[in-house]
Amino acid sequence: MSPTRSKAKTKAVTTTEAAVLALLAIEGERSGYDLLDLSKKAIGHVWTPARSRLYTVLPRLVELGLARSRKVTQVTRPDKTLYRITRAGRAALEDWLETVEPGAHEAFRLKLFVGGLTSDENLIAQVQQFRDDRAEQLKVLREIEPTNTRQGHDRYHWFLLRFGIEHAERDVRWADWVLSELEIGPPA
């Protein structure tokens, strides 16, 4: 769905809830243990929940109608609960994926990681916002740069100022590259 298309608003979800819904949307029905294991192997590069947090979120998603659960009896192991995303969960996830949040870099990285669940048009808006955020940070840091004397305590501040400038420059270059890739489209 395009970010400009209007629709009824669903309940906003947290980043953790969205991450769990994304895992369920991509991987299908899973137990809490399975989701924790999956988060360590893949999505964990951009988002890693505390074990207790994940086990708290799953029942809440069921309570909100964003996921369904079912008990599975096991003979040699304790019974387990499997979760799957609902239609309302997909709508909430879609809303979260389409919401561009200035300054929300952790959410941005997660949205890009699960980008196959949304459109390139939406991802372009997300990457552009990240780029704008980092370019603004770079501007602020460059305005500070001439005021640093590199003497006394300023010498140590300079080290971190340079670190910030170099990272912001790298992020802007990376975002420009991602934008060009998204505009080209997927490989044939």
Q: What is the CATH number of the domain that holds 62?
A: 1.10.10.10
Do 75 and 133 share a structural domain?
Answer: no
Task: Flag whether 108 is in a domain.
Answer: no
10: in domain: no
User: Residue 64: is it exposed, middle or buried by C-beta count within 10 angstroms (0-12/13-18/19+)?
Assistant: middle
Residue 9's pLDDT is 54
Taking Cα atoms as reference points, which of 178, 106, 171 lies closest to residue 132? 171
Q: What is the DSSP string of 84-135?
A: EE-HHHHHHHHHHHH---TT-HHHHHHHHHTGGGS-HHHHHHHHHHHHHHHH
pLDDT tens for each residue of the chain, 188 residues long: 444 444 445 678 999 999 999 999 999 999 998 988 888 877 777 777 766 788 899 999 999 999 999 999 989 988 999 999 999 999 999 999 999 999 999 899 999 999 999 999 999 999 999 999 999 999 999 999 999 888 888 899 999 999 999 999 999 999 999 999 998 877 76
Residue position matching structure tokens 């003497």 = 151
Q: Please state the φ and ψ torsions of residue 55, each to the nearest 5 degrees.
A: -70, -20
Per-residue model confidence (pLDDT) at position 7 = 47
Contact, 34 vs 20, CB < 8 A?
Answer: no
- Residue 133: domain span: 119-184
Question: β-strand 30-31 against 67-72: which pairing, if any?
Answer: unpaired
Domain membership of residue 84 (yes or no) is yes
Q: Are 17 and 62 a contacting pair, CB within 8 Å?
A: no
149 in a structural domain: yes
